[in-house]
A and B are shown apart, each in its own frame.
Chain A
Amino acid sequence: MLRLEEVRKDYNHRGKVVRVLDRVTLEIGKGDYVSVVGPSGSGKSTLLLMLGGMLSPSDGQVLVDGESLYELAPDERAVRRRKTIGFVFQMFNLIPYLTALENVQVPLLLAGVDDVRQRETAVELLGRVGLSDRLDHKPSELSIGQQQRVALARMLANDPAVVLADEPTGNLDPETGHHVLEFLGDLHRHGRTVVMVTHDPEAAKRATRSLRLQDGAVIPA
């Protein structure tokens, strides 16, 4: 499903080249639940964004279902991302001036879904995450946990086959974090491929496969 072939990623930092990923080859099969751990700055988030078509490698290839993601034009990549990939961010990245309902409608709008179906789908998804009574609340009017649940509902709007979660519990209290991990586990059980970057060893254990990023290389945890 997802494959990295000899991927290298360098950053230029004040004139110095910093190599974050060094000839990484990795395969993540359909329906896998993979956790990626490693120290800060080890390139976990870089790896995740690269899998999501948001960051091109300096060298090597990123393949999704056998298709080289970065050989596509940017707009084609955006369409591919919309159809296949769902992101869960540590900071939730909700649009602050839209209500919970509207935030969930955004991916549907981008997919060209009509108003009525957008609303129906968004109401149903927010119901699944227990926020039926918060449809018209803006993110600032919701608790942190509720915000992450809105983000999860939004991620599911286009029914992605791949879920890329970046520290999904990093900003949450233990109980809410537990619920989010349960939710990701459910997604995996329903056949989705989940890749989760985390600092939390307990969260990492929930995955079926755990990887460690160290010195630019990916090794089994």
Chain B
Amino acid sequence: MPNTLTETTTVSDMFKIRGRLPGVGLLLLFGLLAAGCASDAELDTLDPQSEVAETIWNLAFPVFILAGVVLVLICGAVLYLALKHGVRTYEGDDEFPEQISHNNSLEIAWTIVPALIMAAIGVFTIITHIDINGTDDNSITIDVAGESVEWEPTIVVVGQQWWWEYRYYLDGSQIETADLGDPRDLPPADIVTSGQFAFPTGTEVELIITSRDVIHSHKIPALNGTRDAVPGRYTPWKIEANGPGVYFGQCSEFCGLSHSRMRMQAVAMTDDDFQAWIDMQMSDATFDESLQGYVDAYRETGVGSVDDVENDALRGLDVFTTQCASCHLVGGLNDLVNGETYDGADTLAGSAPNLTHLANNTTFAGGLFNLYNNEDGSLNRDDLAAWIRDPNAVKANRANDLPDGVLPRGMPAHNLSERQINDVIAFLETLGPRPTDERIAATEVE
């Protein structure tokens, strides 16, 4: 080249600006890696807590590294070329570089080599794919109402706007032999929960996922990837957990107004804890004496009487039976209100959470709020009251003032007075048993 001096200044000039280009790429890469190591996010996909999630991560991690290496090579090449070959102008420069138009063997090589790399990745992908889609033929022995039952851990997961329902069929026959039928009218289950579900640690739990309305997606990243809940279909999936704990999830398919507020938690328990949880969930709600009198009166006359005006919970029970019980089921109560025989834990409207053991949960409103305050373990009255007062205000829905032909979605506001709201909360608090302080601490949403 004729003028090396000019060439040099040009190169250093260019370094100032062009250096950023690959620099940004590198930054990104390190950012990615940092995210993998340093994150304490509950929904982190890089922090597997189960065998299946680890299998996925073991496949993905080397590919992340490989992609990072290729990125550095490509951006490095761009940087190198910019530094080495940059010129400021073609003005007065009649010298042309060598006019290389092609090199077939080189090009064939860089077609075949990436193809081979992809083929190798493909082999591992298929192996992992088969692995995570297979199911174990496992079962555990549990005690159901005094009888010992071999249970193949299976949970029917039903999404709806904007909460998750979990249904346990402990004898398994309905799942194995009978068609589950329409997700909006499933056969009565032994246990129905919403927003939170329990399962035993160390064994694979099959999930049968479906939806009552639109498509949702059930994702608890620490335990497994996501799987869509498609109305009209049942999609199989599975989870497992290496140890007891609470694992956070979030609906990951856009499902309308409160998609962002459709959350859930998987609670992995030791076998003993799980057995205790089953026993508790299988039982009806238990009312204290004052409430029981109301229930008994109802049972006899069809009309409850609120004669003790000093008892908030009792007044709340009255509000509940008149305002809430047409959708929400409380085991031991709704059979009276609706004149139907209580037949297992189920929802009457097919689309409202079963509240039999609400106070045993640690979240409410589709996993959005803590039911208990993290600081002192007291009931989170503020959010609960706001939620009952006007659900749409704290979790967007479409339940009030609807045009003709539009289905209500979400919980409507019932124009309850502040006193009624206070009373209902007092009643709901009785639907225990209260969870342990450890569990309250572990399910801290924030």
Specify whether A and B are partners: no
Residues of A within 8 A of B (CB): none
